[in-house]
Structure 1
Amino acid sequence: MRVPSEASGRLSDAWRFCVGTGRFELALRRDYQDSLALIQREIGFRHIRGHGLLSDGAGVHQPYEYAGARHVRHSFTYVDQVIDAYLELGIRPFVELGFMPSGLASGDQTVFWWQGNVTPPSSWREWAELVRATVAHLVDRYGLDEVRTWPIEVWNEPNLKDFWQDADQDAYHRLYEVSAHAVKEVDASLQVGGPAISPGSDEFLARFADFVAGRSLPIDFVSRHAYTSGPAQHVPFGVHQTLAPASKLLEQFATPRRQLAGGPLEGLPVHITEFNSSYRPDNPVHDTAFHAAYLAPVLAAGGELVDSFSYWTFSDMFEEQGIPTSIFHGGFGLLTHRQIKKPTYHLYAFMARMGEQILARGEDHLVTRDGDGRVTVLAWAPADVTGAPAVDGHTVRLSIPIGEAASAFELRSSVSEEKGNAWAAWRELGRPSSPRPRELDVLREAAEPARSHRGLPVEDGRVDLDLRLDRHEVTLVELTPVVDRTPPWWDDRRLLGLGEESR
């Protein structure tokens, strides 16, 4: 394929706008902060979203009795520590209002191992006070200009009975109304939105839009989630699932705007506040090279459809199904515990090195250029979800515009079944559930991409690339025009082992 010389547009950074995380207070742990620091150095997400800001583990809602009456103290001891750590690492909260504090809950239904309460409040007045106090504290501590940049989302997946009692949409509408007004009472410029629904409930969003418009409620964005896995097939400490093609994720991304077209919420920003292949935190597909190849076309094209799509999650520091029993356990994370990089981590790190100008985009590649003339090519092998044998030897051929240089420097980084695949190395080590320090070093080393470099000739301002990809390979090629600065007296042929004189 002949790549055009002129850019067709700018590469959206919707893929890095937000990333998911485990429950709120996990951010107090050292391994969590070490993992997030690594992610931010090499990828650099803008926001971070997770559950449990208002659950008991964060300790915000503290009811007590005094002088024969009920009172509530709002405590932000943990909230401040977590958000301070986020901001120090260059990432901002994408605030999720949930779950229900036990002292305010109307029932005892919970979700997850850590028992987040998913019932409506026993007092709507007290819930409004909780939301208002929390948002006002954030504004007071971090400043209005800062908190204006933090989207505030009302609840999580209220269309599922597991996450909202009876999946009662009318009750959710009231929760949204009370919450949105409480946010705006702090300051009208703060962003509030929802309904953060899971896939498969198209009618929920339509009804929500009519309710918000009918009541003239404040709303600044619409949110939903996207997953492509089938029902869980359980094994001890894990699951297996079928997957729909990755194109189905892009179809889900496009759904909110299609549904809202012509309606009262048309034109609002759309945030996919969770997406992944499987919705289970114990599915081994998340750890594999297949997963990186599967998601590559989603990262390459998703920004054309939504304002953000948030990978769920950045780290395996995650306990919804209980404390993980092994370092590789199918967790959502881009990183395992102890900062072992998975192939999908490198997909994101490769995207972070792409240029801003889009030159070409196809079913197996994305080509960009930056302001210095460096051209980057992200290419990926097919990820077949039918169970057919994986393709080995997929080829991507491109003619790349590079300018008037005499040569170009190619730096290539790759992950595949054989390269940059710590999960494969872990299997070969016998699947140690708690690797010893030396084994951790081996796994971290095995997790690094395979890298190669060479000089390429430029003919008529172009470089011809012939990329042969291994099974489930994702590769990044960086092409830099070369300015030859070799001194006139230098002759490599005089070096032993390089020239004729060494023979």
Structure 2
Amino acid sequence: MDNRRKLMQLYFLTEPEVCTHYHQDPELFYLLSGHFEVKIDDAVYQMKKGDILLINANKRHTLAAKGELLMARFEIDFHLLAEQLGSMQLLFWCNSVIDKNEAFQELRILLDKIIDRYFEQENKDALRMNALYYETLYVLAGNFLVKSDDIRLNVEDSQDRVRIRQIQNYIQANYQSQISLNDLADRLFLSNAYLSKYIKKHLGLTFMEYLNNVRLFHAVDELLYSKKNITHIAMDNGFPTSAAFTKAFRDVHGESPSEYRKLMQEENSTPRDRRELTKEEELKIVEYLKLKRQEDEAEISDSRICHMDAAVITGKTNDFGKAVVLGDAYTILQSDVQEQLKELKQTTGIQYVKIWNILSKEHCFLEKKGYNFRKLDLVLDFMVENHMKPYLELGHKPTLFMYTPERSVKGQEEERKIYQYSVFEEIMKQLCTHLVNRYGIEELESWYFAYWNDPQLNMTEAEGKYYPYFEMIYRTLKEISPDIRVGGASLILGYELDVCSNILNLWKQRNITPDFFSVCSFQYIAVTDHETRYGRKSIDSKYMKNQIDILQNAMDESGIGNIELHVDEWNFTISNRNVLNDSCEQGAYILKNYIDMEGTVDFMAYWHALDLYSDYYDTNTILNGDSGLISRDGIRKPSFYAFSFINRLLPYVIYKDENAIVTTNKRGRYVIGCHNFKKLSSRYVFTEEDEIKVRELDNYMEDMDPLERKFCISNVKNGSYIVKMHYVNKENGSVQDLWKQMDYTKGLAKEELEYLKNSAIPSIIMRTVLVEDGVLEIENVLKAQEIRMLDIQYQYSL
């Protein structure tokens, strides 16, 4: 390999052209001006100014531009990158045309800096240029890289995970030899037939297709970067003959190896975008940089100072985020669950609690013995008596405790059976009659009734069972009152956005559409390549907002009408064993998302309410990484206090930015909620969630810098104000950090648990501020991951 090759190289496209090609090195396109069309396989993307798109290795693509054009093209050396990342199986999902991610703006800033230094790269500034290249690849890897050997979405448990890894490792180690499915089956002590089906299910390819893909991957490298003849390359990469190599190559790439090599040699010998820039083209780039600097300068403001007018109302707060998910309805029959729910209600003001499995055969119904709603009555009576509104999931959902998205703590439940339509119809009639007679129409009109997208109901198909089941539920409830709210279907953002448009269109074509459309938000992304799905964690700090923006565009395009949008389960993780759930980071995450989503969606239910949800044999410490707001021992976490601070906000909004929301009652009182949320780093992306060590949490943050904020509220009464500051950070009120002082000891005594309960509370500072010129000024410095609530009240005197 040529040691002079660079990890990244920058070239410019300045002339309209049309060309089709593919190559081993990934390409990153950044459109500076004009319009550009990119076709990758069968998908066509129309790039506009500011768009970024990465084309992966060996992807045939067509580039087309018309009219004025200024495009930066960054060529990434695949082999040097693979060496840095320790894997040859690399896949990027980076396309701002169809995706939204805060990291795109990080990339734009870095790419603009590279372009700015382009003309100086031969002198000492070349070091800075290389540093920027590495920083760019760091952002790409952390936010957009999916390792092709990461099968996060396809593996159901740890046994499968280990077996798939064995299959991949064996093929990677032996692809140059004449291996067969029989060899691998003998090694794994499995039958040929079983292993063949297993590989097809989990890898999306047959054994031979997968083996040939690995062989071709390495063969393409030799075609491009060696002078070996075709026969030599075929034999060195495990193909039995050059004819077999040529056939496999043509099946994937559409041409023979020799034709591919010739095409690539011709392209590399006279590339249009690698020639010297003309003076006119240089001036175009200089003019772009000049305009960019002017735009950046116009956006620069003192972010430390937040100016607002007390007389200017910008919006209203509401109860859209005062909801939590409990899970199985019948856990409410446990006394400790009841006590903790009442505590949540009293302190955080939770309005809605989402529950499911209300029609379980264990508690409610048997086809041969009929109905018994007594236990359901006990559940609902408790909620109604304690002023909690049910968000009732009418389908049967599995209750699984998760280490990671592909590994469960608790084994899979027995296979769920969908009730026959006629049986379910009778159940719904009996249930609805019972509910309205017991609780009354007005009470039912304040509840939500949902029916989730059980995979067995085939919601993505026009003739799927989901729609008639949903419509029967809808009609039954609407016969009681047209104001009862019925919806679904809990699709998963990031995983199932690709099917949302199809589902919305199917729903619009039917006679009945839902009152609300529901989705779940956990920070994972699914990528499909060659009909295989891969998954990765997302560290986009605006993940939910960006994914909801994409969904709302799909809803608008579908023309489904003005229906409510619900996020009926949300968190950054699905894991019940991720220690970040217990940390200050989680409190900041909740407050941040409440601020981000305020005024954007109609309803949000946090996943989930209590650590008791996943109490199991392995929960043998004070904190176990579950996402409940209260620990199993009844200790409040930072996430609990985030909801408590939200509950204290006043009705009218006068200011909002990424870190703060300022509210008022219009009568001399102001409440501010603010946070210093820190984005997770790339290390988090490539670490199994249950393997994160509580002692190393700071290493998973991009930085731990404090945040300065000065709030300036004009048009206020002159006089004296009392400012009460409530805050939680690593030094104050965090049970996880208090436990650290006990060396994370297991099996604490009763008095030690009481100490934690009494100590894990927000700290309070009070001071008096005198206003003489109609402007109230309050300065704050928030530590990393701190949440803070400021209650400011005018002091009347007679």
Match of 1:395 among 697, 702, 708: 708
Corresponding residue for residue 21 of structure 1? 326
Question: Distance in 2 between the 1:224 and 1:201 partners?
Answer: 9
The CA deviation at 1:474 is: 0.9
User: What is the letter of the counterpart of residue 251 of structure 1?
Assistant: N
**CA contact under 8 A between 2:585 and 2:785: conserved in structure 1?**
yes
Question: Distance in 2 between the 1:449 and 1:351 partners?
Answer: 14
Corresponding residue for residue 453 of structure 1? 766
User: What is the letter of the counterpart of residue 34 of structure 1?
Assistant: E
Instruction: Determine helix, strand or coil for the equivalent of 1:16.
Output: coil
Match of 1:348 among 622, 643, 650: 643
Equivalent residues in 2 for 1:408-447, closer than 5 Å: 408-447=721-760
The CA deviation at 1:193 is: 0.8
**CA contact under 8 A between 1:192 and 1:218: conserved in structure 2?**
no
Corresponding residue for residue 35 of structure 1? 340
Instruction: Determine helix, strand or coil for the equivalent of 2:418.
Output: coil
Corresponding residue for residue 496 of structure 1? none
User: What is the letter of the counterpart of residue 367 of structure 2?
Assistant: P
**CA contact under 8 A between 1:194 and 1:221: conserved in structure 2?**
yes
Are 1:138 and 2:435 counterparts? yes
Match of 2:351 among 19, 30, 46: 46
The CA deviation at 1:114 is: 8.4
Distance 1:325 1:11, change over 3 A: farther
Corresponding residue for residue 240 of structure 2? none
Distance 1:325 1:25, change over 3 A: farther
The CA deviation at 1:203 is: 3.8
The CA deviation at 1:116 is: 5.6
Fraction of identical pairs, as percent:
19
Equivalent residues in 2 for 1:192-207, closer than 5 Å: 192-199=486-493, 200-207=495-502
**CA contact under 8 A between 1:55 and 1:98: conserved in structure 2?**
no
User: What is the letter of the counterpart of residue 468 of structure 1?
Assistant: V
The CA deviation at 1:317 is: 1.9
The CA deviation at 1:78 is: 1.2
Distance 1:229 1:214, change over 3 A: closer
User: What is the letter of the counterpart of residue 323 of structure 2?
Assistant: C
Corresponding residue for residue 314 of structure 2? 9
Instruction: Determine helix, strand or coil for the equivalent of 1:22.
Output: strand
**CA contact under 8 A between 1:354 and 1:376: conserved in structure 2?**
yes
Question: Distance in 1 between the 2:460 and 2:794 partners?
Answer: 59
**CA contact under 8 A between 1:31 and 1:338: conserved in structure 2?**
no
Instruction: Determine helix, strand or coil for the equivalent of 1:441.
Output: helix
Equivalent residues in 2 for 1:37-436, closer than 5 Å: 37-57=342-362, 59-64=363-368, 72-99=369-396, 113=410, 119=416, 121=418, 123-155=420-452, 157-158=453-454, 164=456, 169=461, 170-199=464-493, 200-229=495-524, 243-319=538-614, 324-386=619-681, 387-388=700-701, 390-401=703-714, 403-436=716-749
Question: Distance in 1 between the 2:666 and 2:310 partners?
Answer: 14
Question: Distance in 1 between the 2:432 and 2:415 partners?
Answer: 21
**CA contact under 8 A between 1:113 and 1:320: conserved in structure 2?**
no
The CA deviation at 1:402 is: 6.8
Question: Distance in 2 between the 1:326 and 1:194 partners?
Answer: 37
Question: Distance in 2 between the 1:149 and 1:116 partners?
Answer: 33
**CA contact under 8 A between 2:539 and 2:679: conserved in structure 1?**
no
Q: Deviations over 1:289-321 (max 9, x none)?
A: 011122322111312211011111121120398
| Highest RCO, 1 vs 2 (Cα 8 Å, sep ≥ 6) | 1
**CA contact under 8 A between 1:224 and 1:272: conserved in structure 2?**
yes
Q: Deviations over 1:242-297 (max 9, x none)?
A: 55233111123334322111434221011110101101222111110011122322
Question: Distance in 1 between the 2:750 and 2:580 partners?
Answer: 25
User: What is the letter of the counterpart of residue 277 of structure 1?
Assistant: F
User: What is the letter of the counterpart of residue 539 of structure 2?
Assistant: A
**CA contact under 8 A between 1:390 and 1:472: conserved in structure 2?**
no
**CA contact under 8 A between 1:129 and 1:182: conserved in structure 2?**
no
Point out the structure with the larger helix share: 2
Q: Deviations over 1:423-447 (max 9, x none)?
A: 1112322334443221221111221
User: What is the letter of the counterpart of residue 349 of structure 2?
Assistant: G
**CA contact under 8 A between 2:364 and 2:373: conserved in structure 1?**
yes
Q: Deviations over 1:441-474 (max 9, x none)?
A: 1111221001110111213122221101112111
**CA contact under 8 A between 2:718 and 2:770: conserved in structure 1?**
no
Question: Distance in 2 between the 1:205 and 1:404 partners?
Answer: 50
Question: Distance in 1 between the 2:351 and 2:459 partners?
Answer: 31
The CA deviation at 1:165 is: 7.3
User: What is the letter of the counterpart of residue 141 of structure 1?
Assistant: R
* Structure 2: segments with no counterpart, 5+ residues: 1-305, 399-407, 527-535, 682-699
**CA contact under 8 A between 2:459 and 2:503: conserved in structure 1?**
no
The CA deviation at 1:119 is: 4.1
Deviating more after overlay: 33-42 vs 333-342: 333-342
Corresponding residue for residue 780 of structure 2? 467
The CA deviation at 1:98 is: 1.9
Distance 1:417 1:62, change over 3 A: same
Larger Rg: 2
* Structure 1: segments with no counterpart, 5+ residues: 65-71, 102-110, 232-240, 486-503
**CA contact under 8 A between 1:343 and 1:415: conserved in structure 2?**
yes
Question: Distance in 2 between the 1:167 and 1:418 partners?
Answer: 49
Corresponding residue for residue 96 of structure 2? none
**CA contact under 8 A between 2:520 and 2:569: conserved in structure 1?**
yes
Q: Deviations over 1:382-428 (max 9, x none)?
A: 31212455324321112124722322111000011111101111232
User: What is the letter of the counterpart of residue 484 of structure 2?
Assistant: L
The CA deviation at 1:100 is: 7.6
Aligned residues: 454
Question: Distance in 2 between the 1:213 and 1:242 partners?
Answer: 32
**CA contact under 8 A between 1:317 and 1:337: conserved in structure 2?**
yes
**CA contact under 8 A between 2:566 and 2:604: conserved in structure 1?**
yes
Question: Distance in 1 between the 2:465 and 2:415 partners?
Answer: 12
CA RMSD of aligned residues (A): 2.6
User: What is the letter of the counterpart of residue 573 of structure 2?
Assistant: S
User: What is the letter of the counterpart of residue 143 of structure 1?
Assistant: G
Question: Distance in 1 between the 2:740 and 2:525 partners?
Answer: 25
